[in-house]
């Protein structure tokens, strides 16, 4: 690629990018999706052109400074007023360059925006501050699991503010916006684990919105999905509750009594306690209080905490809420 000559190190996996993945280059993660090379090609093209002109301009600047510097006995010359040849050159060359850049970018853009009709559908919910992935059989997980060599289409929505789903190794990034669905797709070409992050600053827990994409080898994805679903279905209420809390609550609420920075109170030992609130009379933590806090978090704001949590209304079933309550009860 054009950028390659500028940085001979670019082909060496010198640095793991960004969080322990190998196989990428000095500055880019591995190209692990079928469309990643389109993005890299446009990036390298633009970088190459920009680098070339940067060096050219700096070189000419230095050269002219030296060559035409003021010396005793020389007088400043009058600048020429017009040169048709020059003006044509600095109009036509940039025109060609931007057309090349546009064509390269647009060609990849069309591929990246248009999901194949056979794509496997996964629903995504972005929320302060975690991702939830819902598979066609209804199973939900905090990690994105996909089969290798299969187009996967993500249909995404946000519960609160704008997030952005970003999988660097796939060169996939799409905003996740409240009040509408956005979509993106990819075809992973290499089994393995990749980072999935939020790329839109969405509040204090923004950097916690990091999870994994697990690309399963041929045939293994279906087995994983079936087993994960069966396991989730057959759990005792308290275990199902533990799983839900780990998946949905743990980025803000600990279960061991520690305080998560900018998060909410720990769940440890709260059942049966009497809590004081900034906007409500003291209340005993019981089933109804926990249920209300999940569905209408702003109604009772604990003394010493901010009104940060968004509602889980429509996201958790009654059964799931009951499981969470069972688990919180067990944390004595
Ligand atoms: Cu969600 Cu940043």
Q: Which atom of ligand 1 is nearest to the CA of 162?
A: 1
Residue 196 near ligand 1, beta carbon < 6 Å: no
pLDDT in tens, the chain (332 residues): 333 333 333 333 444 444 444 567 778 888 889 998 899 999 999 999 999 999 999 999 999 999 888 888 877 778 878 889 999 999 999 999 999 999 999 988 998 888 899 999 999 999 888 899 999 988 888 899 999 999 999 999 998 899 999 999 999 999 999 999 999 999 999 999 999 999 999 988 898 899 999 999 988 999 999 988 888 888 888 888 888 898 888 888 999 888 888 888 999 989 889 999 988 899 989 989 999 999 999 999 998 898 888 888 888 888 889 889 989 988 88
Half-sphere exposure of 308 (CA within 13 A, CB side): 19
pLDDT of residue 4: 39
Task: Tell whether ligand 1 has an atom less than 6 A from the beta carbon of residue 209.
Answer: yes
Nearest residue by C-alpha to atom 1 in ligand 1? 163
Assess contact for 312 and 248: CB atoms under 8 A.
yes
CA 75 to chain centre: 60
Q: How far is the CA of 209 from the centre of ligand 1 (A)?
A: 6
Q: What is the pLDDT of residue 162?
A: 95
Tallying the residues shown for the chain, one arrives at 332
Q: Which atom of ligand 1 is nearest to the CA of 163?
A: 1
Supply the pLDDT for residue 8.
Answer: 36
Ligand 1 atom at minimum distance from 200 CA = 2
Per-residue pLDDT, 23: 64
What is the separation of C-alpha 200 from the centre of its chain, rounded to a whole number of angstroms?
8
Of 117, 172, 108, the closest CA to residue 144 belongs to 172
Burial of 126 (0-12, 13-18, 19+ CB in 10 A): buried
Q: Is residue 21 within 8 Å of 194, Cβ to Cβ?
A: yes
Write the DSSP symbol of residue 31: -
Q: How remote is the CA of residue 87 from the centroid of ligand 1, in Å?
A: 47
* Ligand 1 lined by 156 (C-beta under 6 Å): no
Q: Is the CB of 165 under 6 A from ligand 1?
A: no
Phi, psi angle pair for 211, to nearest 5°? -150, -170
Q: Where are the domains of the chain?
A: 18-60+85-234, 235-330
What is the per-residue pLDDT for 22? 52
Q: What's this model's pTM, rounded to 2 decimal places?
A: 0.69
Query: Is-same-fold flag (18-60+85-234; 235-330)?
Result: no
Q: Which helix (H) or strand (E) holds 250?
A: none
Joined tokens for residue 52 = 């070339």
CA of 161 to the centre of ligand 1 (A): 8
Q: Which CATH architecture has domain 18-60+85-234?
A: Sandwich (2.60)
Euclidean distance between CA atoms 293 and 295, whole angstroms = 6
Q: What is the pLDDT of residue 2?
A: 39
The CATH number that domain 235-330 falls under is 1.10.760.10
Distance (Å) of CA 185 to CA 35, 63, 116: 10, 50, 9
The CA distance from 213 to 198, in Å, is 13
Q: What is the pLDDT of residue 101?
A: 94
């Amino acid at each position: 690629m054009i950028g390659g000559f500028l940085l001979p190190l670019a082909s060496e996996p010198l640095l793991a990018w960004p969080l322990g993945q190998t196989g990428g280059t000095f500055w880019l993660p591995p190209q692990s999706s079928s469309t990643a090379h389109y993005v890299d090609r446009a990036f390298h093209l633009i970088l190459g052109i920009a680098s070339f002109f940067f060096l050219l301009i700096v070189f000419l600047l230095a050269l002219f400074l030296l060559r035409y510097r003021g010396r005793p006995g020389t007088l400043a010359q009058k600048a020429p007023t017009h040169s048709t040849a020059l003006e044509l050159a600095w109009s036509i060359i940039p025109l060609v360059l931007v057309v090349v850049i546009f064509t390269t970018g647009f060609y990849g853009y069309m591929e990246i925006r248009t999901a194949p009709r056979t794509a496997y559908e996964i629903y995504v919910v972005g929320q302060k501050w975690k991702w939830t992935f819902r598979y066609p059989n209804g199973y939900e997980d905090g990690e994105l699991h996909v089969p290798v060599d299969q187009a996967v289409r993500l249909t995404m929505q946000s519960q609160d503010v704008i997030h952005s789903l970003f999988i660097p190794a796939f060169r996939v990034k799409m905003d996740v916006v409240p009040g509408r669905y956005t979509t993106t797709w990819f075809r992973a070409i290499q089994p393995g684990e990749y980072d999935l992050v939020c790329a839109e600053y969405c509040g204090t827990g923004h950097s916690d919105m990091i999870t994994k994409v697990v690309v399963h080898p041929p045939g293994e994805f279906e087995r994983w999905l079936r087993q994960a679903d069966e396991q989730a279905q057959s759990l005792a209420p308290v275990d199902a509750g533990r799983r839900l809390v780990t998946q949905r609550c743990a980025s803000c609420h600990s279960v061991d009594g520690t305080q998560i920075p900018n998060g909410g109170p720990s769940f440890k030992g709260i059942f049966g306690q009497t809590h004081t609130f900034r906007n409500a009379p003291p209340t005993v933590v019981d089933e109804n209080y926990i249920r209300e806090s999940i569905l209408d978090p702003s109604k009772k704001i604990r003394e010493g905490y901010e009104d940060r949590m968004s509602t889980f209304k429509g996201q958790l079933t009654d059964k799931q809420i009951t499981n969470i309550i069972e688990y919180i009860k067990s944390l004595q």
